[in-house]
Amino acid sequence: MTQKNAEALRAAFAAADTGDAGPLVALYHDDMTWAGFTLTGTQRLYSKSEFLEAFGVLAKLDESKNEVTDVQIVSDEIVVANVRVYRRLGDKELDITMVMTHRFIDGKVTHGTDIVPSSFERFWATTGLTV
């Protein structure tokens, strides 16, 4: 089952990068909890709706891409993904690898985390954009 989850994760991110966010939204359970970063570099817990709402800031950018470059199957339920994150606003660019963990139950992500390098918040600070 975990290999299927890893493949679903890759496919969902690839679809989202082409403008079809449906598979990615569907992959996350409605009661999902995500421990992730804010644009200022602090960490917080997000519900699914808050997590997806935070992605709205990407529409304000000139360019945004997320590419799953590697996945590691840790156990029957856990998949870790290295995600290349590219963001551009004018001449400001961010090109990093973010690490995301996903716990799957019955094919849906119920819990997750991400960690990013410090250049993440420096980029957002220079853009002046907020969620």
pLDDT tens per residue across span 47-66: 999 988 888 899 999 999 99
Long-range contacts of 51-54 (CB under 8 A, 24+ apart): 52/25, 52/28, 53/131, 54/131
pTM (predicted TM-score): 0.93
What is the predicted pLDDT for the residue at 52?
87
pLDDT over 80 (residue 39): yes
pLDDT over 70 (residue 1): no
98 closest CA partner among 77, 112, 78: 112
53/131 Cα distance (integer angstroms): 8
CATH number for the domain running over 2-127 = 3.10.450.50
What is the predicted pLDDT for the residue at 124?
96
Amino acid at 12: A
Domain boundary assignment for the chain = 2-127
pLDDT tens per residue across span 75-123: 989 999 999 999 999 999 999 999 999 999 999 999 999 999 999 999 9
DSSP 47: E
What count of other Cβ atoms lies within 10 Å of the Cβ of residue 77? 17
Element holding 110 (H helix, E strand): strand 108-115
